[in-house]
Structure 1
Amino acid sequence: MSARMFFRDMCRPWTWTWASNCQPLKVLTATARDIQEELTARRITSFEAVDKYLDQISQHNGYLHAVIATCPSARQQAETLDRERQNGKIRGPLHGIPVLLKDNIATHPDFGMDTTAGSLALAGSRPRKNADVVEKLILAGAIILGKTQLSGIENHAWLSAVGGQAQSAYTFGDVDLSDTPLGHTSPSGSSTGSAVAISAGFSPVALGTDTGGSLMTPSTRAALYALRPTSGLCSRAGVVPLSAIFDTIADTNAAYAKLKHLAKSFKKVTLATPDAFIVNQTDSFYAIQTARFKATIEEYLQTLETSKVRTLDQLISFNQDDASHEMPAGYDNQDQLIAAAESKMFEFEHSYLLRHARRVSRDLGIDKTLRGYDVDVIIAPADSCFNLLVSAAGYPSATMPLSYLAFNGRPIGLAVFPTAHQERLLLQVLSAWEAISPQRRPPTLS
């Protein structure tokens, strides 16, 4: 679960011509850049923008279940930032821009919202402070608009006890509960709410998290651009963790660079398959995650000022006692949590599996392919095993919208990944792709 930024568009040229009486904010298509230009021109205020987004949430969240909570102080934050703007103080490109946070990113209780990671066990818990990424957003002048739905900590694809059943803003009809996590009706997870919220016009920007594709797949199924930074690039402090090794969080200062060059060519390449992670009949990626989850989650739980649970065993017991909410029909197990609680992996085994995963994904995978074919990036289907490859390597990646399935409207997209610390290159690729692609089609919301 690493946190990433979702974007509706990367650098679409300015096309609005608002009259002096200010036309309504087009929340389904407005980007953060669009809004910032309108704020700068004094044709709209942050307070008005927040009102529009809260109204959109009020109208459509009852069906989509993308937002778990809206921030009671959002309008007050907007008023403060509007006053700063009037006085000539602009903190940066995010000044006065509403932002949604995935509900595993801690916010101080003063914001009036829980940080639940989708579990009722964490409802009412009190983080001692904001996550580092939230502090950066505040300093940059962003407005914390609310918290988004996610797969529960039991890792049930797109459902949580707190947020309910998330729905795609694009597909025709409800989620088929018999569908697989990558089935055609699935909005995917775990950053489901952040992706659905952006596509539905609930906010121009949202943060999500990613461990093994939990940002990439929801974003591509919402026709979004998304950026997953290199693991360790941004602080994960204050984020409810899945894996201390594979988790990552987005840099709130990410900005697209001026396009310098386009890809020289597209070539068909062959990469490692998921079977490459199997060593001695053990899936090294999931074994690494499972082996350290107990220590990782308990370290977070111990930082809380108050919490109903402090250990993984207590969390498992809570879920069993409240199974009707935490494990409803169709999601009636917490096998991954139990496996993590029972894991007895020795340190030398963990180190061996980690070296294996890194070698397969880096030396024999991404880096070998980039060198061997003399290319800057690899482009692949976004709904694919490549997400695990990138996560195991700890490399950055991004998604680009491609098209929509005719039979149910589901968006499909592409994933792009280079070697480590090439976020600037990724943003150049996204910018180039947007320049040659049809304009994104917003969903039809009744």
Structure 2
Amino acid sequence: MPLPELSISDWQDAMAREKWTSADLVEGFLAQIAALDSAGPCLRSVIEINPDAMQIAEALDQERQAGAVRGPLHGIPVIIKDSIDTADRMLTTAGSLALVGNHASQDATCVRRLREAGAVILAKSNMSEWGYMRSTRPCSGWSSRGGQTRNPHVLDRSPLGSSSGSAAATAANLCVASVGAEVDGSIVRPASANGIVGMKPTVGLISRYGIIGVAEPQDTAGPMARCVEDIATMMNALVGADPKDPTTSRCNARPMVNYRKMLRPDALAGARLGVARECFSGHEGTKGVIETAIRALRDLGADIVDPVQASELPFFGPMELELFQYGVRANINRYLSTHPGAQVRDFDELIEFNNRHAADVMPYFGQEFFELAREKGHWDDERCLHIQSELRRLARDDGIDKALEKHRLDAIIAPTEGSPAFAIDTVVGDHILPFGCSTPPAVAGYPHISVPAGFVNDLPVGLSFFGAADEDAKLIGYAFAFEQAVQARRAPRFLATKS
């Protein structure tokens, strides 16, 4: 019998009443992975199962029986993106065959915090290889190690973004929650496309130590779940200072936040929200869903300012892509220098490995982006520093900050993605419309949450809330109030296709 879709707090209540155990949950989710991911609709959202998950769950059950419960995540199975280190028998490969054999000697800090909170690391999720940054025409959710992740709502549609496996696995109820990572859209876009909630926090709230990133000013991990309540619970566990990631020093300069305290159905009453019309595409289905969402926000007491100009930055514009070319080389070299178990020692060796194994690594698209990155200078070159400065100016001073101040806004809203999920196309690559709102908050390093808003022909559409730095808790409150009123999420039906 499939496990029900329950929230973290509901599972905790069930375990406290001895109706379920953590071992039961692990057994049930492993059965669902076998039935839905490895067989059946064959989602390919999970790249590797933790062989020690059951043993960990049983030990946590014993702790509970002895009266020691670590917190809200005690015994809860969580899936981690394959770019995040786990010091166990699972690999960290960023979806690449070149990193097969790479066992991390230490947990990423976010993984350590989850374990300390009592979570069971159930599996690693598939992803867009190297965070979508290997080719100039990649296919979301495809990796040489894991194959093509599929959207559980409509199987021939894209799961979108590099945290595609985390999103698809969470949507399909293969775990209670998951952790993704983002440089621009890689949490929120797959959340929207797979019909779940995704939180890209303010950069510096969650440590990046032990994570294979793309461009440091924008990189962050973040939680993905089926409801906003679970996002708040995960944030409570994940957020905190880490001397191994200096950006997290901001956590020492602010009071500790209990994100669950923001879960109020009336949180939108009196909130002043700006509508970023430049993020809307011409897709009538997505526009219709978001217009309905805006009416719902008004009904919940929000003051809507329409339109506002949040940013003029295009998704993956030339300057941002150039930053990624500098960043991906620097990040991969830094990671490989501390992971001697990998088959390659640096970025140049990675490119050569891919060339030697082209039939397996590059059957659909190449490594043009890597080749461009190899020609770039160092991360601290004058050109790279100029790009970073210009992007931050456009996203902050002349973008989000300007809009918030000019219109006296609490947050900005927009469709997360320009259209519902497009068809998977490994030959041509992704058909992403140059719309959606992931870029301004990603470049600024500001918080962004996507929450299910509705459907277009069985394909989910997400509504985004984004705003100023460290306003994560406020955004979680707005998303929760909207979610509770609209109840737009529904479980996937694994439809074969949708014309």
TM-score (norm 1): 0.86
Pairwise mapping of residues 8-407 of structure 1 onto structure 2 (< 5 A)?
Answer: 26-27=3-4, 29-62=5-38, 63-108=42-87, 111-153=88-130, 154=134, 156=138, 157-171=140-154, 173-174=155-156, 185-250=157-222, 251=235, 253=237, 255-256=259-260, 257-259=262-264, 261-262=267-268, 263=271, 264-268=302-306, 269-274=308-313, 283-329=318-364, 331=365, 333-344=366-377, 347-383=381-417, 384-406=435-457
1:424 to 2:476 alignment: no
SS at 1:206 equivalent: strand
Matched letter for residue 392 of structure 1: V
Q: How far apart are residue 245 of structure 1 and its match? A: 1.8
Give the Cα separation in 2 of the matches to 1:195 and 1:225.
Answer: 9
- Change over 3 Å in CA distance of 1:371–1:71 after alignment to 2: same
Give the Cα separation in 1 of the matches to 2:23 and 2:339.
Answer: 32
Runs of 4+ with >6 A deviation: none
Name which of structure 1's ranges 303-312 and 49-58 shifts more when overlaid on structure 2: 303-312
Q: Once the two structures are superposed, what CA deviation does each residue of 1:256-276 show, in whole Å capped at 9, x if it has no partner?
A: 324263123122222323359
- Which runs of no fewer than 5 residues in structure 1 stay unpaired? 1-23, 175-184
Contact 2:201 2:220 in 1 (8 A): yes
Matched letter for residue 452 of structure 2: P
Q: Once the two structures are superposed, what CA deviation does each residue of 1:148-187 show, in whole Å capped at 9, x if it has no partner?
A: 000011263220011101100001x42xxxxxxxxxx211
Q: How far apart are residue 327 of structure 1 and its match? A: 0.9
Cα RMSD between the aligned structures?
1.8
Percentage of pairs with the same residue = 34
Give the Cα separation in 2 of the matches to 1:359 and 1:423.
Answer: 21
Matched letter for residue 107 of structure 2: N
- Change over 3 Å in CA distance of 1:277–1:31 after alignment to 2: closer
Q: How far apart are residue 385 of structure 1 and its match? A: 4.3
Contact 1:102 1:208 in 2 (8 A): yes
Contact 2:89 2:103 in 1 (8 A): no
Give the Cα separation in 2 of the matches to 1:145 and 1:276.
Answer: 33
Give the Cα separation in 1 of the matches to 2:221 and 2:103.
Answer: 21
Give the Cα separation in 2 of the matches to 1:252 and 1:169.
Answer: 28
**In the comparison of the two structures, how many residue pairs are matched?**
401
Give the Cα separation in 2 of the matches to 1:258 and 1:56.
Answer: 30
TM-score (norm 2): 0.77
Contact 2:411 2:465 in 1 (8 A): yes
Q: Once the two structures are superposed, what CA deviation does each residue of 1:300-332 show, in whole Å capped at 9, x if it has no partner?
A: 101113111011110011111111221113x2x
Give the Cα separation in 2 of the matches to 1:37 and 1:54.
Answer: 21
Contact 1:69 1:148 in 2 (8 A): yes
Matched letter for residue 354 of structure 1: Q
Contact 1:94 1:141 in 2 (8 A): yes
Give the Cα separation in 1 of the matches to 2:267 and 2:79.
Answer: 32
Contact 2:313 2:394 in 1 (8 A): no
Name which of structure 1's ranges 268-277 and 409-418 shifts more when overlaid on structure 2: 268-277
Q: Once the two structures are superposed, what CA deviation does each residue of 1:177-220 show, in whole Å capped at 9, x if it has no partner?
A: xxxxxxxx211020000000011110011000000101111001
Q: How far apart are residue 445 of structure 1 and its match? A: 4.1
